[in-house]
Structure 1
């Protein structure tokens, strides 16, 4: 299928809202190769566009520290996506997107309190690799400021850094002779300041004015705070439909789509409201990693029973190894609440309930560990001997989770609808 610029897709979607054909796009955190396969299979079956949103911690250049997902850098990430699309026979629309790009967006950069000049330089270096490797959308997010922890980052700082980074990316894009790309601005973080209607509109107005002066493109998406917040494996925020509707309406006035982050673990009755409220896209990431983890644990239970029945001789140790490496990763801390963030690793192993919680939250951070991969393969081998396709079960389990959003966001058949609106026959 002919690739269409993501800016054009969003413009068409905003028009479709007025025709009673609203669609909310799904931004998918690429937690594993298995998730990519599930996405492409479902995308082919249900005919909807795929957006893969990779944070700098997940996917980044090796010289900047690489990524915890499959050790992917930008090149291997885009290659794997293309290969998986081909393997599954997917011929629809998909977009490779940078999520939370910019200064201090890697944990180590923020923890080390890098000076602003160096942090901006590293953010630009990461964006350059994104551009070289064909990313379609770049999230410009300079709000993770270690010197403003717990405070609202001044709008002047957010604006000046945003403009500087877009200017850099556009200069490099043109120098490399690359096609136009989309930009996402703003953040769902409360310290980014874009939480109220007034602040949101002022930010868009000021940013667009400054971009126009410099002959730079206006954003494709602007992130707004709709009240969602993920902790543990729950959405502990309170969805604010009034605020979401106001922010979406403001964004649309400026030809921009409202992007919601933290869309994980949301009930259907809230997801269904996204269409009438005008939310153009929603990002979901840890939920799909958790679903994959839960699938492995379910299969481990089956393997255990079959071993007790004498049908498996040497069972895997997948649950223990996955738990061990998930805890050792320490990436679970960001999802915990209260004093649990400060727990010592040795204390965690003494509490079964807590280790189970951390496995549920953070198992996906350990998928690429060599021991974990080996145990998963042993698990699959054992189950194959008993006529169970474990890998297929995992893929289908992820597809079930993805399909909740496909159904609620009116995504089925949306690629064909969007392409027809653009004037391209499918």
Structure 2
């Protein structure tokens, strides 16, 4: 297992941003492993509880993996321990089961703790503590911090009891298009650092910064959408983000940005320049896989298979939360956005068998084409984030 303290020093002393990739599919996970093995570059594999959760919490929608089986898979194929298993958005009501069962706060927190415990026992090194969701009522910053402290203590105690090294990432609010105020970040970090000092806990490793980005449909809306690489230093909002990243670094805490999908190379390359030390990207890689699939179906006139894929995706309803207000997205657009959610369904597996057979007549291998596209995209982000890819 990698000694992250060494990597942290590298991040603190260089113009680099650590890439976090969502495990959108088996293909995506395989590509991350291959890149880490080939180029010896660390990548965080950032699994949300909806994507991957413990067996006792029902697993997740990605490849029928649970926390335990994903960990086994990574440990089997990650030759250099450079795939950094990470829990993304760990907190109450952050998986489908807790929402569907309408759990109260106590039960949702207990369920979340059980999930965290399995994460830690399964060698997830990075734990994102994110209690920003509450399905029962609006939640104040004071309440969120109290929940952070509760979950933070739980995770540290479980790690110590089981002789595991973990690193905590803190998120205290749902991601929006706006920016943090300097004063609120200062207050939160001060509060958390004081809590850690009082309890002799390690400080958090990452703090999630509201960087003005928000993913809607298949694009990134917000601050970075129109930033010019040549003039970003004069951009008032970018300057505000940089002030906050420097605040985090003054505490020895790495500032991190979520929702970093769909940004072009030049824009992504601003991240290390403004000291964003982590950048998470997830839905874009699912969209890439769906696009490759759809384009191949169109190219080789597999029309009935295309219609079936679109219908399965539409029926899933998973596209709804990604829609813009007054969206003009077509059914095909919605299928591109939500296709990755159905990859583990039996109906899709049957459809995929037909697609693979149809493409084989043209000497085309579906998964190979998908992996090429995913590799190109992930490598592009790594280069933008300051990593040398040989």
Provide TM-score, normalisation by structure 1. Answer: 0.83
Task: Look up the match of 1:162.
Answer: 148
Listed one character per residue, the Cα deviations across residues 381-417 of structure 1 (whole Å, up to 9, x for unaligned) are 3323332233211110111211220121112259xxx
Aligned partner of residue 335 in structure 2, secondary structure? helix
Task: Look up the match of 1:318.
Answer: 305
Q: State the structure with bigger RCO (CA 8 A, min sep 6), 1 or 2.
A: 1
User: 1:30 and 1:318 mapped to 2: Cα distance?
Assistant: 25
Given the superposition, is the C-alpha separation of residues 265 and 190 from structure 1 closer, same or farther in structure 2, using an over 3 Å criterion? Answer: closer
Moved more, 269-278 or 111-120: 111-120
Question: How far did residue 362 of structure 1 move?
Answer: 0.3
| 1:401-412 map, 5 Å | 401-412=377-388
Cα pair 1:28 1:284 within 8 Å, conserved: yes
Task: Look up the match of 1:368.
Answer: 344
Aligned partner of residue 136 in structure 2, secondary structure? helix
Task: Look up the match of 1:23.
Answer: 16
Aligned partner of residue 222 in structure 2, secondary structure? coil
| 1:246-261 map, 5 Å | 246-261=243-258
Task: Look up the match of 2:231.
Answer: none
Cα pair 2:145 2:172 within 8 Å, conserved: no
Task: Look up the match of 2:316.
Answer: 329
Unaligned regions of 5+ residues in structure 2, if any?
Answer: 225-236
Q: Choose which of 113, 116, 123 in structure 2 pairs with 1:127.
A: 116
Question: How far did residue 57 of structure 1 move?
Answer: 0.6
Provide TM-score, normalisation by structure 2. Answer: 0.90
Task: Look up the match of 2:260.
Answer: 263
Q: Choose which of 68, 84, 97 in structure 1 pairs with 2:86.
A: 97
Cα pair 2:22 2:281 within 8 Å, conserved: yes
Given the superposition, is the C-alpha separation of residues 31 and 261 from structure 1 closer, same or farther in structure 2, using an over 3 Å criterion? Answer: same
Cα pair 2:289 2:340 within 8 Å, conserved: yes
Given the superposition, is the C-alpha separation of residues 193 and 182 from structure 1 closer, same or farther in structure 2, using an over 3 Å criterion? Answer: farther
Unaligned regions of 5+ residues in structure 1, if any?
Answer: 305-314, 341-350, 415-426
Compute the RMSD of aligned alpha carbons. 2.3
Question: How far did residue 60 of structure 1 move?
Answer: 0.8
| 1:71-110 map, 5 Å | 71-85=64-78, 90-91=79-80, 93-110=82-99
Listed one character per residue, the Cα deviations across residues 348-372 of structure 1 (whole Å, up to 9, x for unaligned) are xxx9x62111101100001111221
| 1:271-310 map, 5 Å | 271-304=268-301
User: 1:187 and 1:398 mapped to 2: Cα distance?
Assistant: 31
Given the superposition, is the C-alpha separation of residues 193 and 357 from structure 1 closer, same or farther in structure 2, using an over 3 Å criterion? Answer: closer
Question: How far did residue 192 of structure 1 move?
Answer: 12
Aligned partner of residue 229 in structure 1, secondary structure? strand
Task: Look up the match of 2:57.
Answer: 64
Given the superposition, is the C-alpha separation of residues 317 and 187 from structure 1 closer, same or farther in structure 2, using an over 3 Å criterion? Answer: farther
Listed one character per residue, the Cα deviations across residues 146-181 of structure 1 (whole Å, up to 9, x for unaligned) are 2344xxx422112111111111112122222x2221
Question: How far did residue 190 of structure 1 move?
Answer: 5.1
Query: Which 4+ residue blocks in structure 1 deviate beyond 4 angstroms?
Result: 190-194
* Higher Rg: 1
Q: Choose which of 174, 177, 181 in structure 2 pairs with 1:196.
A: 181
Cα pair 2:91 2:109 within 8 Å, conserved: yes
Aligned partner of residue 53 in structure 2, secondary structure? coil
